[in-house]
Amino acid sequence: MPSQRRVTRLAPSPTGGLHLGNARTFLVNWALARQRGWQIAMRIDDLDSPRVRAGADREALDDLAWLGLDWDTEVDYQTRRLADYEAALVRLAADGSIYPCRCTRSQIAARIASAPNAGDHELRYPGSCRPVERQAFDFSELKNSGWAWRLRVSDRAVEFVDQIFGPQSVSVFDEVGDFLVATKQGCASYQLAVNLDDDFSGVTDIVRGNDLLTSTARQILIREALGMNNKITYWHLPLVAGEDGMRLAKRHGATRLSELREAGVPAERIIGLLAHWSGLSTATPRTAQQFATDFDISHLPHERVTLTSQHLEILRPSGW
C-alpha cells in the first residue's frame, strides 16, 4: 500500500504585513516541504475578525510569492468553514466535552488574585462554571445567549515530541485550566478551528513559530475530544526578536517585507539574511530555490535569533 503523502500548510494571519520573522518561519517550512516532497496547503487564518485587516491576505500571498515560495492548493480561508466549526461545537457540547461559561476576565482575575500563579499574563481558569460531572448542552440553543465555551480539561499531562525541541510534557490543566473554544458570539476560537482546518487539508506536519508550542498541547486535547487521530509531526522554530528581546515591531525598523520590497531591496538579499539565521554560514544573496538546496534542518540554531542593526545593514547597504 502506498504510504500516505505528507502535507504541511502555510497559514498567514491577515492581521498586518509579514515581517522578517514570519518570513523565516515560512521559508523554512517551505524548504522542508520541497526537500521532502510534502504537499503544501495555503490557508489564510482570518477568524480573528477584530484584528483582520482588509487586503492583508492578498499582501501576505504577494509577499510570499515575491520571496519565491509557492504552494500546491487553492487558497483556503477559515471564514469559509464556519458551519464546520459550529458542527464540531454542537458535537462537543452534546457529549459534555465543553461547557458554557459567563465569567469575565476581571471576575477570573479577582477569583485567583490570591492563587500561586497570580500575575502570570495568562490566567488559569479556576473552573467557576465547570459542571461537577460531564453534562450535555445544546450548543445551537445556547449559542446566542452570550455564553463563551470552555473545554473540560483533564488533569493528566499531554506528551508529544517536537522535532526541534524534543519531548514535551505539558499540564494544560495546571497552566491555563479549561480554556476557551468558542467566544460569546458563538464563534470557534483559534485553538479549535485550526484542528478542523488541518484535518480538512490532511495536514501531517505543522511547522510554525515556537510561540505556539504552548498551544500544541491544547490542540492535542481538542483533537482527542473530537476523536481525530493525532498523527501530526510538530516542528516549532525559534522566533526572531529585536535587540530588546521583544517580538519584531515597528520600533525595530523596517522589517516588513512590503516595506523592504517597496524600498527596492531584492528578495534574494532577504533570503540571504534568513539563510544566515537558519544555520547557513553566510548571508550571501540567494533564491528560495537555492536555499531549499542548501538548507539543513539539523543546523538550525535552537536559540532565538536577534535582529541587529548589522542585519538591517545587510539588507540595505550604503545608506537607504
Among the candidate windows 5-13, 92-100, 168-176, 246-254, which touches ligand GLU by CB under 6 A? 5-13
* 23 forms part of the interface with ligand GLU (CB under 6 A): no
> CB of 101: closest distance to ligand GLU in angstroms?
24
For position 201 contacting ligand GLU by CB under 6 A, the verdict is no
Shortest separation between residue 316's beta carbon and ligand GLU, angstroms:
26
Which span sits near ligand GLU by CB under 6 A: 6-14, 128-136, 179-187, 260-268? 6-14
CA distances from 242 to 117, 179, 238, 311 (A): 28, 30, 13, 11
Q: Which is nearer to ligand GLU, 46 or 178 (CB)?
A: 46
Is the CA virtual torsion 156, 228, 124, 21 positive or negative? positive
Q: Distance between CA atoms of 240 and 156, rounded to whole angstroms?
A: 32
Q: At what angle do helices 82-94 and 190-200 cross, to 10 degrees?
A: 110
Least gap, CB of 207 to ligand GLU (angstroms) = 8
- Between CA 9 and CA 205 the distance in angstroms is 8
13 contacts ligand GLU (rule: CB under 6 A): yes
Identify which of residues 11 and 32 has a Cβ nearer to ligand GLU in the complex.
Answer: 11
Q: Is 12 in the site for ligand GLU (CB under 6 A)?
A: yes
Minimum distance from residue 86 beta carbon to ligand GLU (Å): 20
Among 208, 223, 252, 256, binds ligand GLU (CB under 6 A): 208
Chain Cα centroid distance, residue 10: 10
Which span (11-19, 105-113, 179-187, 290-298) binds ligand GLU, by CB under 6 A? 11-19
- Look at residue 101 and give its three-state secondary structure: strand
Cα–Cα dist 234/232, whole Å: 6
Q: How many chain residues are in contact with ligand GLU, going by CB under 6 A?
A: 7
Angle at 257 between CA 252 and CA 259, to 5 degrees: 75
| Closest alpha carbon to 247 in 9, 14, 16, 11 | 16
What minimum distance in Å lies between the beta carbon of 11 and ligand GLU?
Answer: 4
Strand bridging mode 39-44 / 7-10: parallel
- Yes or no: say if 61 and 75 are a contact pair by the CB < 8 Å rule: yes
Residue 279 to residues 13, 272, 273, 295: CA-CA distances in angstroms?
Answer: 26, 11, 10, 8
- Give me the 178-197 binding string for ligand GLU, x by CB under 6 A, dash otherwise: ----------------x---
The pairing of strands 148-151 and 39-44 is unpaired
Indicate the residue type of 78. Answer: Q
Give the three cell numbers for residue 206: 505543522
Judged by beta carbon, residue 12 or residue 238, the one nearer ligand GLU is 12
Residue from 45, 57, 63, 178 in contact with ligand GLU (CB under 6 A): 45
Is 11 near ligand GLU (CB under 6 A)? yes
Segment near ligand GLU (CB under 6 A); pick from 10-18, 32-40, 85-93, 299-307: 10-18
Tell me the longest C-alpha to C-alpha distance in the chain: 67
212 binds ligand GLU (CB under 6 A): yes
State the cell numbers at 294. 542548501
Q: Which stretch binds ligand GLU (CB under 6 A): 8-16, 28-36, 73-81, 149-157?
A: 8-16
By beta-carbon proximity to ligand GLU, the closer residue of 192 and 292 is 192
Question: Which of 139, 277 has the CB closer to ligand GLU?
Answer: 277
**Contacts to ligand GLU by CB under 6 A:** 11-13, 45, 194, 208, 212
